[in-house]
Chain A
Amino acid sequence: MIPAMTPEGAHPLAATAARLVWLLPLLPLLGFLLNGTLAMLGVAKTGPADPSAAHDAHDSGHGHDAAHDDHAPTRHKYAALVSLIGPGVLIAAFGVAVACFLAMRSVDMEHPYIVTLYQWMPVGDLTIGATLHLDQLSMVMVLVVTGVGALIHVFSVGYMQDDPGYPRYFAYLNLFIFFMLVLVLGGSYPVLFVGWEGVGLCSYLLIGFWFSEKVNADAGKKAFIVNRIGDFGFLVAMFLMFANLGALDFVPVAAKAAELPMGGIVVTAICLFMFLGCAGKSAQIPLYVWLPDAMAGPTPVSALIHAATMVTAGVYLIARSATLFSMAPTAQLVVALIGALTAFLAATIGLKQWDIKKVLAYSTVSQLGFMFVAVGVGSYVAGIFHLVTHSFFKALLFLGSGSVIYAMHAAYHATHKHDDAQDMRNMGGLRRHLPITCYLMWIATLAIAGIPLFSGFFSKDEILSSVFARAHGSTIADATLFGVHGSTILMVIYGLGIASALMTAIYMMRMMLYTFHGPNRTGEAERPHLAEAPWVMTGPLVVLGVLSLVGGWLNVPALLSGIGPVGVLDHWLEPVVGEASLRTTLGAAPHLPHQTELVLVGVAIAIAVAGIAFAVWRLKPAALVPKKDAVPTEGFVRVLENKYFVDEGYDKAFVQPTLGISRAVLWKGLDNGIIDGLFVNGSALLARAIGWMGSQLQTGQVGTYAWVLLIGVITILGAFTFR
């Protein structure tokens, strides 16, 4: 990043369509206002669907997706208008984004295009403007957010059509996109933070969309509270930045960070605190626990917020702060190690989940871990590349699972049966009923498993090989963490990555085999009602399927130069993160010998194939029984099914002590004792005591009063006489 600020008027983009960049956040905001108004107008008669009627039989507390109850669908009276506005503003925003992108392609720009809308906080030395910052990195993010966002909005039209809260849903979804665009377009950390908090709010609102059921509301609260812990870190990072660098805008921060001593304590602290924020938002150890619970929201929300866009904000933030991180190799090592551990841990949990959305949730946590490995080792392009491909195939997987749940729900609804529509043990053989969804999800599965030429193969391979390449001759390899040498840790990270990739292939195969293959376990009566969703839902799936298939061509490695242009994304992001990347690799582009590279690719392919083969060999969909007939598991499988009891551990270690201290000290001690006892009752007691003392003077004896009067008179006369 070049430190010099370009005068706004002189920027080459100022004369192009990119000057309309302010339209990008404005359009979804407009959609939010319109849909919100419609939601308020129609709210009198309807509320959220009454889930208690349909879900008495559920024991897991989850699986209440899609519009549901036993009554006729209660379509909202403004549903048609909302269906136009909600996805409409997103498609328009995507159009603006494409126009901006084409404008950027046509000019030669090295500096970011910065538009200051107005001065937000001019306070002393601190001047924060409401600034939009358009560069190659934010362009990629904007395209993903508006593109994938538009597809998911269209899908939602079908998925949510019968929900009484339809306009409210789209209002929240539009608001989310607005805040997400503020996040990726913000020109300074505080503006980014506004978007950061805003998407957290929308995430909370949408996880608890069906809030009349307690588990959903609790999941929303959990997400919100866990994110607050991370945001604390982000805030501290901003304070440190302002105190030590004197700036909060991206451009001056990067310029001043580059002048700091390499690996200094200040820059390391800033990076580690910032990573705490990322760990909250992007669900990394130790703050990943909220994301699986976030699946309580509608499935398109899971696809949009909790897979494709919001949870990748942490990856974006680190890529955006590439200069800072490149000055702190120890922090980079921490980021990469936490990422690898998260990828590994989440993948093991994903192996034994039965809820189809839970599998995908842990898969998301795991893939986010991969992205953090990439940005941690300074391979920002690989991280963003995986972010993009992941947003394609994971959105597809989630929307596909939404399509499955929709079909399951419709089937249960038709026969008035109450069972878990999200449990894979109740599925099986759906390929015959949902062929389009099945084949599209196969594309996504092969992509995430890393089968060559599917998108995930390119991005995951790039991450793993960049870890390997930095094990020698990089600032990270020379750094140490707790006395362990960086290159050793990098090799451990590589090993964890390979193991996670293997498990990714296994759990994804498991999900596909149990859902779409083998005999059907839904039930005799329900089977004829299983059917493909309408085209408004399968259409976006097809688009995402194509993207999952070809997304890898964004950044073809040099090794496979025969199949397309090499490193398009590399060149595109070079002005933003190139300098920081090179600093990590000591000024030279990371280079591996040709044979080593071939071996690494071979290992990656072998791992993917081995995982798939293992799953096909070991998993027997035919042996599964429906959920209600399942026997409890034992041993390590039970530990995995219960997610290592991390939630229970956190409950014991943090939640219960907090509750206990709140009860004993804050409630009983401080509130009841000091506030109520000392201040409220104490002041009343004091007034009463003084009053009692005064009342004792009033004996009622006239003689006493006369004596007092006389003494008073004599005193006053004496005072006047002898003064």
Chain B
Amino acid sequence: MLVESLALSAVLFTIGVIGVLTRRNAIIIFMCVELMLNAVNLSFVALSKLHGAAGQVFVVFTMTVAAAEAAVGLAIIIAIFRHTQTVNLQNINILKG
């Protein structure tokens, strides 16, 4: 059961990474980031079977942080959209040197 859980977690995480790297839309990238967080959550829960309850405690923390991040991140995306009328990250490069 543990091995399957960790494998699923790895698959989910990889999907998230690929999504972040390849997609252009800020919302989708955001969703992929959430996917990566939850993949990690899954591996925490799976591993708590071996190492005790600390992993489950961490999951709660992660979800809290993820909720806060979602609030802030979505707010930023809305602000960006208001400013540039797009959420396509290729057009948003004001950090350029």
Q: Which residues from chain A sit less than 8 Å from chain B, CB to CB?
A: 694-703, 706-707, 710
Contacts and interface: CB of A to CB of B under 8 A. Distances in A.
B90 A697 contact: no
A706 B17 CA distance: 9
Chain B interface size, under 10 / 10 to 19 / 20 to 34 / 35 or more: 10 to 19
A698 B96 contact: yes
B74 to A, nearest CB: 16
B95 A698 contact: yes
A695 to B, nearest CB: 3
A699 B96 contact: yes
A700 B17 contact: no
Interface string B29-46: 100000000000000000
B1 interface: no
A710 B22 CA distance: 13
A700 B95 contact: yes
Interface in B81-97: 89-90, 92-97
B21 interface: yes
Nearest to A713: B17
Contacts of A697: 97
A150 B26 CA distance: 100
A696 B94 CA distance: 13
A721 to B, nearest CB: 15
A700 B21 contact: no
A716 to B, nearest CB: 16
B20 interface: yes
Contact of A698 (B20, B24, B90, B97): B97
Contacts of A706: 20-21
A696 B97 CA distance: 7
Contact of B96 (A694, A700, A707, A710): A700
Contacts of B24: 703
B21 A707 contact: yes
A700 B95 CA distance: 4
Interface string B52-96: 000000000000000000000000000000000000011011111
B21 A710 contact: yes
A696 B29 CA distance: 25
A702 B80 CA distance: 14
Contact of B97 (A695, A702, A710): A695
Given A710-B17, A710-B21, A703 B97 contact: no
A700 B94 contact: yes
A124 B33 CA distance: 78
Shortest beta-carbon contacts, A-B, top 3: A700-B93, A698-B97, A700-B96
A699 B95 CA distance: 7
Interface in B9-23: 17, 20-22
Given A706-B20, A706-B21, A707-B21, A701 B89 contact: yes
Contact of B93 (A696, A699, A710): A699
A188 B90 CA distance: 85
B69 to A, nearest CB: 16
Contacts of B94: 700
Contacts of A699: 93, 96
